[in-house]
Every structure is written in structure tokens, then in C-alpha cells.
A and B are shown apart, each in its own frame.
Chain A
Amino acid sequence: MRVLVVEDEADLADAIARGLRREGYAVDVAYDGDEAVDKASVNDYDVVCLDLNLPRLDGIEVVRRIRADDVGQPTRVLMLTARDSTRDRITGLDEGADDYLVKPFDFDELTARVRALLRRDAGRSGAVLKVGDIELDSSRHEARRDGQQLPLTPKEFALLRYFMSRPGQVLSQEELLEHVWDENADPFTNTVRVTVMTLRRKLADAGDSQPIETVVGRGYRLREQP
């Protein structure tokens, strides 16, 4: 899951990015509105955490432009605002933000809202994803197969979560790189292949079959039934 944090307070933006990365998200940061629009037009973000009060380009305008660019899966926008007047929030929601959070916020609340926004697309309720005999609890950061806990790194966890939010779909290496890794990942390394390989090994260790199969020439797929 790829997240863009747009916030002109560098100290806040960096802390949010650090916290979200630890939760297994691929996070990019933009420090003003122009940069945010540039990044959103190049990358396909699942969630944008957007400060409304930005230099150069106002947050509302950023939402408008992100919405105008939206093709396919819509980008979810969580607006962060230091203004608590109802009018500001109504404007933000009317212009296309999906949710809002008033500063200062509890970081756990931020991650819970990001998860909730991601669930809207997955069409599921609850923080626990379940595919076959694999269970993934994003709020507790735990993944199990057959009740046995999987010792996953944050990147493997994020990768498994992305597979589990799209069970049965063939996912290309490019798509995985786009949504699970941030802009610092080098697209020419085989980091996707290596991480998929280690994830598959850990899944195989915990069960008797391999749920992630390779679709030759196209990518990978998580089987819905084991």
C-alpha cells in the first residue's frame, strides 16, 4: 500500500512517514502543494494524507487535481487540518477528501483511519483480512497461517497485505513495486522478486502448500482456495 504524506511542517511530515513505514506502508513525502500534485501524477497512491494549509498550492486545490487525475482505483484522501471549524471540514469533504483528522492527532488514530480507507476499496470490514488459511491483522501487525504466526519483515508484511487485499488477481512486478515500495526503491533491482521469494518461503514453512503462485510472464497470484 503506497501512501503520500503532504505536509509543509517537515518535522511532522517526517514523523508521519517514519511511523507509517514502520506499519509496512510505502511512504513518499511532499512538502508543498506543487510537489504533491507532481508526485500524485507520476505515482499511483492508495492513500494521500494531506495537510489543508500548504504553501504555494492550497490543500483543497491539491485534492481537486488529484481527483481530476483519478483513473481506475480512486486515491483515498485523508485530510489533516489544524483548523477545526466545521466549514473548513465541509469544504474539504465536498471537494473530494474521504476523511479528516484534526491536529494534533493520536498517531494510532491516523493509522486506524488509513486502514479504514484502504478497507473501503477491499470491500471488507474489520482490520483482519482472511484468504484461505492465511489471516492478517493490520492493526496488530500480525500474520498467521493455520494459526501459526509468520515471522515477517515490514516489507514482507506489506507485500502479503497487498496480495490479500486482491486475492485471485494477477499482480505484476511493476504493480507491486508501485504500491508496496516507495519512490526510493530502484526499479532496476530485483527487490520485488527477492521479497516475494522470502515471503513464499515463510508461507511454505507454516503450511503444506504454496498459496502464492507464479503466472509466467505476467506476475504473481494469491490463490483464494488452498
Chain B
Amino acid sequence: MNPPGWLVDRLPEWARSIRFRYTLLYSAVLFGLAAVVVAAIYLVLVMSLRGEPVSPTYTKRICSNVSDRCVTIDYFQAREFTRFVNSVTLTKLRNYSFGALGVLFVASLGVGWVVAGRVLRPIGRITSVARDIQATDLSRRIELPGPDDELKQLADTFDAMLARLDAAFAAQRQFVADASHELRNPLAIIRTNVDVALADPHADPDELRHTITVVKRASDRMARLVDDLLALARRQEPILEHEPVDLGAAVAEASDDFVVPAAARQIVLDRAIAPDVVVTGDRDALKRAVANLLENAVRLAPARSRIRLATGSEGDRAWIAVADEGPGIAPEDQDRVFDRFWRADKARSRADGGTGLGLAIVRQIAESHGGQVRLQSKPGVGSSFVIWLPVAATPSSTGDSGPAAPSSLAPVATPADRARTRPSFGPPAE
């Protein structure tokens, strides 16, 4: 039960507090109960002891001969005397009861105020810490002492939420710092090269051409980075496009762009694409995820090696797998490869054109489609990335339609003819 708004607005601040309301409630309940009990006792007594004021039957005055003092003696009938005593007792009981109830009312207000204060004190602490945290930083915690009761659970829940917020903000700050670092470096290259070239009035055409080449390289890098950053920002939310996508066709299309770059490094690109696997989602995003995986593989795999690309489905889930034959990812780095701006070898991959965002984008695309991406890698042997996606609920895609997927993901060298018809690797059984 809440008091009406106009009343609340007129009350002083202390009277608006939950402590005040709690005190009133406590006091009212206690007083009401006590009043009922007292009234009940009184009524029972009134009904069982008939009491009424009576007058004496007759009065006799006796005077002493010695001291000249007189006393008046009232004479009652025995039955009437009992009634008289009852009447006096009941009157006294009523008066004392009213007094006791008054004292009880005042005491219950005081006790209610103190008890409410005690009960609410941890909430005050939670509030003050939460307010401080807003104003300062997220590293503080409430850390409520005491037994594991409801309020401590509340405080602990707050603490857990603060920890998650803190981690999220820290990740965001780190991302902004990393992004600004990655954007400033090419900017610095452009600016310094232009400054140095402009400051030299006698620069020869070769030197200027060199400067222009460097500037182009740096601006290409920035363009790629901005593309990737925008791709990441755009895919923060769950996907908007919900069209059925023929996974095989999309993957084949994405991989077509990599046939020539792979051939340039004498890398064989094996494709084993299962027909009739349909997923729901954003076709361009899925193509981008495959392209990012293939781009990494083509860029980093050793020359004259083999990259295998396969798709298929298993039950109600579809998979896309990309496996290469090196260089592999160290076990301690495998959890971090999907982090934004993580690079195995900073200097090398940056020069190669990697932005450090490719795998983060892959993960985001997989997760925004309700799927996930898994990695299995062994340094010196190779890496396999598998994207799992839920299969669209259409009749055409029921059952296993892809090539049989062995449970081993390790990129094992297999005879080429077998690899061409069905992939020798696939998603792990989970």
C-alpha cells in the first residue's frame, strides 16, 4: 500500500523514508494486537464478573468514649459487596490498560525506529557505495560483511554485476586504446612522410614517388582497418537480415576470390562443399567470415601447402571448416586469437596487411547467427577453424546432407583424391 502522490510530496524527507513507514507499520500492528488482547481480556472479565456500583444497605456511626472519635461503618449484603469489589477492580484494570497501551504505543514507535534502522543499515551502505562508484571508478566493491543473508546476497549480486561492468568497460577502453593506436600509426606514417617530402624543395621525382607509394600503402592499411572496425561495430547487435542462405553457394562464392592469391603462393585450395545446407542469416556476413578465415590461411600458411575448405551439416547444425598446414598457433595463444587486435607476430602480420580484427569479426558473425567458432591448432602442424551455425528450419535441409564428418579435427595429410570428394576433417563431436 503506497500513500498517494500529493501526500508524499508534502511530507518532510524523514517521513518519506522506508524507515518511517516501517516504524509506523510496526507500531500500528503491535499497538493493534495489544489493544485487541487487552480489550478481549477486559470483555471476558466484564462478562464473567458482574460488577456494578452499589450503595450500602444501611450505615451505622460508632463513636469512641475515650478519644471522642467516630467512624462510619457501611453495611452491605455479601453478594453486593462482591459486585462492588468487581466494579472497582474493572475500573482500575481499564485505567491501567489504557495507560499501558499508551506506554506500549510510544515504546513501539521507538523500538520500531531502532529495529528498522538496524535492518536497513546494510541497504544504506549498499546505496552509499553504489553512489560513490558512479562518481569515481568501477573498481570498488560493496563487500558487505556479516552472515550470508538476503541483504548480503543482494550486495554480492551487486558486486558481481559491478565486476562484469568493470570488465566490460575495461575491454571497451582497451579496444578504443588499441583502435586509436592502430589508426594513429598509419596516420603518423602519412604525415611524417609528407612533412619530410614537403620540407625538401629539391626533392627528386624518385624520392617523391617513394613518398607517394608509402602514403598509398599507409592509407590502404587505414582503409582496411576502418572497414573492419565498421564491420565490428555494425555487427555488435544480433543480425537483422533473416533470409535463408544456401551455405554451400555462399562459401563457394567467398572462396572464389582466394583461388588466385593461393595459387600465387603455390598453395592448393581444396574445396569440399556439401549441397543443400540452408541456414538463416546474413549472406554477406557469412561470406565475410569465410573470407576472413581464408585470408588468414592464404597469408600465413607456408608456400606449397594445402588449405582445405569444407561445409556440411550434422543434425540441426551446419558447419564450415577451414584447415591449413601451418604455422599453427601456440596453445597459450589459442584463447586469445579471437580477441580484437591480437596478433601472433605484430610486426610481420601488420606488414602483411593484417588488421588484427579478422578473427574477432568471424567470432562476432558466428555468434550473431546463434552459432560459434572453434579452433584446433598445433604449432608446426596447422590450424582448423570451424564455424557452427544452426540449420534453417526448412524441409529441404532435414537430416545429414553434408559429407560424413569424422570427429577428428586434426589436419592430417590424406590422399588427395579422398580429400577432393569428402573432407578428411570436420567439426568435432561435442
Query: Known interface pairs A11-B193, A11-B218, A107-B196. Does A55 touch B180 (Cβ–Cβ under 8 Å)?
Result: no
B256 within 8 A of A: no
Contact of B192 among A19, A53, A85 (CB under 8 A): A19
From A22, which residue of chain B is reached at the shortest CB distance?
B200
Indicate which residue in A11, A106, A107 contacts B214 across the interface (CB closer than 8 Å): A11
Contacts of B184 in A (CB 8 A): 82, 102-104
Q: Do B190 and A8 have beta carbons less than 8 Å apart?
A: no
Q: Which residue of B lies closest to A8 (CB)?
A: B347
Q: What A residues does B177 contact at CB under 8 A?
A: 83, 85
What is the interface residue range for chain B against chain A? 20 to 34
B160-203 vs A, Cβ < 8 Å mask (1 yes, 0 no): 00000000000000000100111011011111110110011000
Q: How far is the CA of A110 from the CA of B199 in the complex (A)?
A: 13
**How long is the Cα–Cα vector from A192 to B217 in the complex, in angstroms?**
39
- Contact across chains for B189 and A11 when beta carbons are under 8 A apart: yes
C-alpha gap A22/B195 in the complex (Å): 12
Contact: A104 with B200, CB < 8 Å?
no
Determine which of B181, B193, B199, B218 lies in contact with A82 in the assembled complex, contact meaning CB atoms within 8 Å.
Answer: B181
Partner of B195, one of A10, A102, A106: A106
Is B346 in the interface zone, CB < 8 Å from A? Answer: yes
CB <8 Å contact, B346 and A12: no
Give the residues in chain A near B188, CB-CB below 8 Å: 9, 12, 80, 82, 103-105
B347 engages A107 (CB within 8 Å): no
Question: B191 contacts which of A22, A82, A83, A106 (Cβ < 8 Å)?
Answer: A106
Instruction: For the complex, count residues of A whose C-beta is within 8 A of B.
Output: 27
Q: Which residues of B contact A102 (CB under 8 A)?
A: 184
B189 to nearest A CB, angstroms? 5
Residues of A within 8 A of B199 (CB): 19, 22, 107-108
The answer on a CB contact under 8 Å between A105 and B180 is no
Contact between A12 and B345 (Cβ–Cβ < 8 Å)? no
Question: Which residues of the other chain, B, contact A106 by a CB distance below 8 angstroms?
Answer: 191, 195
**Contact assessment for A55 and B347 in the assembled complex, using a CB-CB cutoff below 8 Å:** yes
**B184–chain A nearest beta-carbon distance, Å:** 4
Q: How far is the CA of A84 from the CA of B199 in the complex (A)?
A: 27
A197 at the interface (CB under 8 A from B): no
A85 to B176 CA separation, bound complex (whole angstroms): 11
A16 part of interface (Cβ distance < 8 Å): yes
Chain A residues whose CB sits within 8 angstroms of the CB of B351 once the complex forms: 10
Q: Mark A1-13, 1 if CB is under 8 A from B, else 0.
A: 0000000111110
Nearest-neighbor residue (CB-CB) of B346 within chain A? A55
Q: Please, which residue of chain B has its CB at the minimum distance from the CB of A20?
A: B196
CB pair A15 B347 closer than 8 Å: no
The contact string, 1 if C-beta is below 8 Å from chain A, for chain B 336-353, is 000000000111001100
CA–CA, A32 and B351, complex, Å: 14
CA distance A7 to B200 in the complex (A): 22
Q: Within the assembled complex, what's the spacing in Å between the Cα atoms of A8 and B185?
A: 10
- A15-B214, A106-B195 in contact; A9/B346 too (CB < 8 A)? no
Looking at A80, A82, A106, which has the most chain B CB atoms within 10 Å of its CB? A82
Q: List which B355-395 residues lie within 8 A (CB) of chain A.
A: none
A31 is an interface residue with CB less than 8 A from chain B: yes
- The answer to the question of A18 belonging to the interface, with a C-beta cut-off of 8 Å to chain B, is yes
List of A residues within 8 angstroms of B181 by Cβ: 53, 82-83
The answer, among B182, B189, B211, for a CB contact under 8 Å with A12, is B189
CA of A80 to CA of B191, assembled, Å: 14
Complex partner residue of A104 from B192, B214, B345, B346, CB under 8 angstroms = B192
Question: Smallest distance from the beta carbon of B165 to chain A beta carbons, Å?
Answer: 20
Contact indicator A15/B180 (Cβ below 8 Å): no
Docked-complex contact A84 and B180, CB < 8 angstroms:
yes
Let me know if A105 and B192 touch, CB within 8 A: yes
Inter-chain contacts of A10 with B (CB < 8 A): 351
Query: Residue of B at shortest CB range from A101?
Result: B188
Kindly list chain B residues whose C-beta atoms are within 8 Å of the C-beta of A82.
Answer: 180-182, 184-185, 188
In residues 313-337 of chain B, which contact A (Cβ within 8 Å)?
none
Which chain B residues border A83 with CB–CB below 8 Å? 177, 180-181
User: Do residues B195 and A108 form an inter-chain contact, with CB atoms below 8 A?
Assistant: yes
Q: Known: A15-B192, A55-B347, A83-B177. Contact between A9 and B185, CB under 8 A? A: yes
CA–CA, A192 to B190, complex, Å?
35
Mask for B194-225, Cβ within 8 A of A = 1, else 0? 01100110000000000100100110000000
CB-CB < 8 A to A105: which residues of B? 188, 191-192
Please tell me if the beta carbons of A15 and B193 are within 8 angstroms of each other in the complex.
yes
Complex contact B185–A12 (CB within 8 A)? yes
In the complex, A8→B182 CA distance in Å? Answer: 13
A19 touches which of B195, B217, B218 (Cβ 8 Å) = B195
Query: Could you list 30 examples of A-B contacts with CB < 8 Å?
Result: A8-B346, A8-B347, A9-B185, A9-B189, A11-B189, A11-B214, A12-B185, A12-B188, A12-B193, A15-B211, A16-B192, A18-B196, A19-B195, A19-B196, A19-B199, A22-B196, A31-B347, A32-B347, A55-B345, A55-B346, A55-B347, A80-B188, A82-B184, A104-B184, A104-B187, A104-B188, A104-B192, A105-B188, A107-B192, A107-B196
* Residues on B facing A (Cβ under 8 Å): 177, 180-182, 184-185, 187-193, 195-196, 199-200, 211, 214, 217-218, 345-347, 350-351
> Given A16-B192, A32-B347, 17 more contacts at CB 8 Å?
A9-B185, A11-B214, A12-B192, A15-B189, A15-B192, A19-B199, A22-B200, A53-B181, A55-B346, A85-B177, A103-B188, A104-B190, A105-B188, A105-B192, A107-B195, A108-B195, A110-B192
